[in-house]
Amino acid sequence: MTKDDQILEEATSGEYKYGFTSNIEQEIAAAGLSEELVRFISAKKNEPEWLLAYRLKAFEIWQKMEEPSWAHVNYPKIDFQAISYYAAPKDRKKLNSLDEADPELLRTYEKLGIPIEEQKILAGVAVDFVMDSESVFTSFKKQLAEVGIIFMSISEAVQEYPELVKQYLGTVVPPRDNFYAALNSAVFSDGSFVYIPKGVRCPMELSTYFRINAENTGQFERTLIVAEEGSYVSYLEGCTAPQRDENQLHAAIVELIAMDNAEIKYSTVQNWYPGDKEGKGGIFNFVTKRGLCQGIRSKISWTQVETGSAVTWKYPSCILKGDYSIGEFYSVAVTNNYQQADTGTKMIHIGKNTRSRIVSKGISAGHSENSYRGLVQINKTAENAYNYSQCDSMLMGETCGAHTFPYLEIKNKTAKVEHEATTSKIGEDQLFYCNQRGLGDEEAVHLIVNGFCKEVFKELPMEFAVEAQKLLEISLEGSVG
């Protein structure tokens, strides 16, 4: 193991030391999840021996781990025995027409401006696979193939490009990284694999949207993106469909690897079911997302808009290993009713002259709790590292909470670190000012909130930004007045 690898290892495996302590006594029921099940999943997918071994090892690690409890969230103990790991999650009843779908769901689709054909797919109406989208999909694949880009489900990739997957899987988020990462590594269902060859600039935004129709990825999604030297890709993870699943656990892993002079831009709009107004139901979203800036002058940029899920626990991070590499994190997290979010980022500076930038906007309404948790770690080797962090919170009403937990670990004196934080309330005076110009309360709140989030929205691809704004409006509906 080289010295660099050792540092990397420390950086990736040791991160929960930093204030993220675990003290829960957890009895894990092994019954729902067993070695047989892991073997079953692997066999179903016809996986090679090395991947089965990888899963089994992860399972072994997971069994020895404890569920983390350091996040500022409360939720009932998850019964891992009660979770279906392979078949059940997407077992939705097929409907004959949209008339049979939940009217509230349709209302949401309408507000989001989702075309009627897509509404049908999202709501689970049995449709013949729309010739149109089939052809869009095909021409899209062709275009990518011409420049040598691989974009397919990770299960397919395991079959078609086993060496590539084997080379990179688990190198940024190893199974032992954390409880949910181990769980995912053992039972991951499917996800995306993207490979951008040397010097290729991906000609379009890659979106899960193009995949969602083809297959259901299930609750343990796994994404791996590799950008070779001098390449560029922008990847959109969209969850436009507010899924109605009850209290379901989603534990995904996303790994990004950027070689010399490569750039990866990863954008997420997450609006999974947040539970009802009393806080019943909703998704538990426990995700490990991490990017490795492996090469010199590489860049990884995370942009996320989180409006859904009952509980969110997620820290898209960057390991800045290459000299002059850059990590960015732009986040809007909105919580309403009884939602809880504990989200932020980790910027691990290893290479010289590495730079990172964090812009986090938290909006809390109702009885929700919204926490920013971020770690900036400047290692000894990281000469002249620079970080800028800005964490702004906005409160709507008297019963919600906003919290900021910034952690700094600086082991090199040449580092420059700047941190700014603000907490504001949507003031009666701001509302009245907007009212006086003819805007109703809802419109006024949208305007003020969108202004508050502008720095993050402008990082999103155009059509995504519009969608994000609409989502914000929907999730904050009825939170004033």
Partner 1 sequence: MLKITNLHASIDDKEILKSFNIEVKPGEIHAIMGPNGTGKSTLANVITGRDSYDISEGSIIFKGEEILELSPDERARLGIFLAFQYPVEIPGVSTTNFMKAAINERRKHQGLDPMKAAEFLKLMKEKMALVEIDQKFMSRSLNEGFSGGEKKRNEIFQMAMLEPSLAILDETDSGLDIDALKIVSKGVNQLRNKDNAFIVITHYQRLLDYIVPDFVHVMYDGRIVKSGNKDLAKELEARGYDWIKEELGV
Q: Which residues bind partner 1 (CB under 8 A)?
A: 427-430, 432-441, 443-444, 447-448, 450-455
Q: Which residue's CB is nearer to partner 1, number 90 or number 357?
A: 357
Joined together, the tokens standing for residue 396 give 């709507």
Cβ atoms of residues 80 and 33 within 8 Å: yes
In whole angstroms, what is the distance from residue 462 CA to residue 441 CA?
26
In whole angstroms, what is the distance from residue 298 CA to residue 196 CA?
14
> Which phi and psi angles does 460 have, rounded to 5°?
-85, 150
Question: CB of residue 179 vs partner 1: minimum separation in angstroms?
Answer: 37
Cβ atoms of residues 404 and 342 within 8 Å: no
Question: CB of residue 448 vs partner 1: minimum separation in angstroms?
Answer: 6
Closest to 238 in 3D by CA, of 112, 383, 335: 112
Cβ atoms of residues 441 and 481 within 8 Å: yes
Composition of the chain by helix, strand, coil, percent to 5: 30, 30, 40
Question: CB of residue 330 vs partner 1: minimum separation in angstroms?
Answer: 14
Q: Which residue's CB is nearer to partner 1, number 26 or number 450?
A: 450
Question: Cβ neighbours of residue 196 under 8 Å, at least 6 residues apart?
Answer: 149, 202, 225, 226, 227, 228, 231, 232, 233, 262
Q: Which residue's CB is nearer to partner 1, number 138 or number 435?
A: 435
Cβ atoms of residues 229 and 266 within 8 Å: no
Tokens 């060859």 belong to residue: 197
Partners of residue 193 on adjacent β-strands: 152, 224
Question: CB of residue 442 vs partner 1: minimum separation in angstroms?
Answer: 10
In whole angstroms, what is the distance from residue 49 CA to residue 353 CA?
41
Specify the pairing of strand 326-335 against strand 299-306.
parallel
Q: Which residue's CB is nearer to partner 1, number 194 or number 453?
A: 453
Question: CB of residue 391 vs partner 1: minimum separation in angstroms?
Answer: 15
CA angle 177, 353, 347 (to 5 degrees): 25
Q: Which residue's CB is nearer to partner 1, number 200 or number 394?
A: 394
31 CB-side CA count, 13 A? 5
DSSP 239-304: --S----SS-EE--EEEEEE-TT-EEEEEEEE------TTS-S--EEEEEEEEEE-STT-EEEEEE
Q: Which residue's CB is nearer to partner 1, number 18 or number 433?
A: 433
Q: Which residue's CB is nearer to partner 1, number 249 or number 453?
A: 453
Q: Which residue's CB is nearer to partner 1, number 148 or number 451?
A: 451
Question: CB of residue 101 vs partner 1: minimum separation in angstroms?
Answer: 29
Question: CB of residue 422 vs partner 1: minimum separation in angstroms?
Answer: 9
Q: Which residue's CB is nearer to partner 1, number 290 or number 361?
A: 361
Q: Which residue's CB is nearer to partner 1, number 409 or number 442?
A: 442
Query: In 84-150, which ranges are continuous DSSP H helix?
Result: 103-112, 116-123, 131-146
Question: CB of residue 159 vs partner 1: minimum separation in angstroms?
Answer: 47
Question: CB of residue 449 vs partner 1: minimum separation in angstroms?
Answer: 9
Partners of residue 299 on adjacent β-strands: 263, 326
Specify the pairing of strand 192-196 against strand 150-153.
antiparallel
Question: CB of residue 438 vs partner 1: minimum separation in angstroms?
Answer: 4
Partners of residue 346 on adjacent β-strands: 375
In whole angstroms, what is the distance from residue 99 CA to residue 265 CA?
39
Q: Which residue's CB is nearer to partner 1, number 60 or number 455?
A: 455
Question: CB of residue 440 vs partner 1: minimum separation in angstroms?
Answer: 5
Q: Which residue's CB is nearer to partner 1, number 128 or number 429?
A: 429
Core vs surface per residue 140-175: b (16+ CB within 10 A) or e: beeebeeeebbbbbbbebbeeeeebbeebbbebbbb
Question: CB of residue 63 vs partner 1: minimum separation in angstroms?
Answer: 48
